[in-house]
Amino acid sequence: MNEMSVLVVDDEPLARRRLTRLLGKMEWVSRIDEAGNVDQACQRADEHRPDILLLDIQMPGGTGFEVLERLAHAPPAVVFVTAFDHHALRAFEANAIDYVTKPIEPGRFQLAMTRARHAAASRSQDDRIAELQETVTSLKRALNNREKRAGEFWVKSQGEYLRIAPESIVRFQADRDYVRIHVADADYLYQENLASLERRLDPADFTRIHRSTIVRRSAIARIKTAPFAALIAVLSDGSEVRVGRTYAAAVRATLAR
């Protein structure tokens, strides 16, 4: 059995713990190192020369692309850990390097690691360098396109990808590291955090009323008062969402206009 070392790069401690727990069940994984940002990742990679790199793409203060560029002279086999939507995933599928999506499914992760192990053992360094260059180019293009597509929301449901029309969305609700999209009669987990999503939304259509809630402006049926001068937004689906104190002034200003 060829034992291999793995470097896990993700800014979320919980995500790293999940990955290391799964890796711990693989007998051929001899060493597991962790990094929470770009600089740590490059330092750990230089120190330990991992055979396989598990790499998140979007991290505060940098991206996984920067890690790849700094390791381009001697790249390990890379498995991307992503929260990309299905459009961007096509960029992964078009290349030999594998990926896993968040939330991570153990079976899919096992398959990705098997492929990475084979790649690390059989491919030359020149081949891995060429593959990385091709993949990074594709992923950057996909990421740029994603940033331009604020009107598209694709979710995975029962093995299929569904497009959620923006005009049908009532609200976005933070769900740990992701977002839950609420429409009139259903809700879906969307693989992006609320802060990142807010940057892509048109403020003319959506407004944040709580640290964990963004609502579609036209879905606000009325605003009612609560004790201690609090505000509650009543939405078109009948749900009620408390307006956070930080956002109350902006909501009142909107109502005044």
pLDDT in tens, 160-197: 778 888 889 999 999 987 899 999 889 998 878 888 78
Strands (E), the chain: 4-9, 29-35, 52-56, 58-59, 62-63, 77-82, 98-101, 153-157, 160-164, 169-175, 178-183, 187-190, 206-210, 213-216, 220-226, 230-235, 240-243
The reported pTM is 0.55
Which residue's entry shows tokens 């976005």? 172
> For residue range 31-51, what is the model confidence (pLDDT) as tens digits?
999 999 888 998 999 899 999
Q: Which of 90, 82, 81, 78 is nearest to 116 (CA)?
A: 78
Map residue 5 onto helix, strand or coil.
strand
**What distance in Å separates the CA atoms of residue 136 and residue 72, rounded to the nearest whole number?**
11
Which residue's entry shows tokens 């490059």? 42
- Asked which of 28-37, 67-76, 93-102, 177-186 is least confident by mean pLDDT, the reply is 93-102
Torsion, Cα of 141, 157, 155, 65 (10° steps): -40
Name the percent of the chain lying above pLDDT 90. 33
Per-residue confidence (pLDDT) for residue 96, from 0 to 100 = 40
> Is a pLDDT exceeding 70 seen at residue 107?
yes
Q: Which residues of 138-154 are buried (b: 16+ CB within 10 A; e: fewer)?
A: bbeebbeebeeeeebbb
**What distance in Å separates the CA atoms of residue 162 and residue 39, rounded to the nearest whole number?**
37
- Asked which of 52-66, 102-116, 166-180, 226-240 is least confident by mean pLDDT, the reply is 52-66
Distant-in-sequence, close-in-space partners of 219: CB < 8 Å, separation ≥ 6: 169, 170, 171, 235, 236, 237
Per-residue confidence (pLDDT) for residue 221, from 0 to 100 = 92
* Tokens found for residue 220: 């606000």
Per-residue confidence (pLDDT) for residue 187, from 0 to 100 = 93
**What distance in Å separates the CA atoms of residue 212 and residue 194, rounded to the nearest whole number?**
7
Per-residue confidence (pLDDT) for residue 147, from 0 to 100 = 46
**More confident position, 28 or 138:** 28
* Tokens found for residue 210: 């709580």
Per-residue confidence (pLDDT) for residue 145, from 0 to 100 = 53
Q: By the 8 A CB rule, do 226 and 233 touch?
A: no
Per-residue confidence (pLDDT) for residue 75, from 0 to 100 = 77
> For the chain, where do the domains classified as CATH 2.40.50.1020 start and end?
153-256
**More confident position, 134 or 215:** 215
Q: Using the Cα atoms of residue 19, residue 23, residue 25 and residue 31 in order, give the sign of their dihedral.
A: negative
Architecture of the domain spanning 4-148:
3-Layer(aba) Sandwich (3.40)
Per-residue confidence (pLDDT) for residue 144, from 0 to 100 = 56
For residue 187, the cross-strand partners are: 182
> For the chain, where do the domains classified as CATH 3.40.50.2300 start and end?
4-148
Per-residue confidence (pLDDT) for residue 185, from 0 to 100 = 87
Per-residue confidence (pLDDT) for residue 210, from 0 to 100 = 94
Q: Which amino acid is it at 122? A: S
- Asked which of 84-98, 140-154, 176-190 is least confident by mean pLDDT, the reply is 84-98
How many separate helices (H) and strands (E) can be counted in the chain? 8, 17
pLDDT band at 104 (very low <50, low <70, confident <90, very high): confident
Per-residue confidence (pLDDT) for residue 20, from 0 to 100 = 95
Per-residue confidence (pLDDT) for residue 253, from 0 to 100 = 76
Q: Which CATH number fits domain 153-256: 3.40.50.720, 2.40.50.1020, 2.60.40.420, 2.20.140.10?
A: 2.40.50.1020
pLDDT band at 139 (very low <50, low <70, confident <90, very high): low
Per-residue confidence (pLDDT) for residue 172, from 0 to 100 = 96
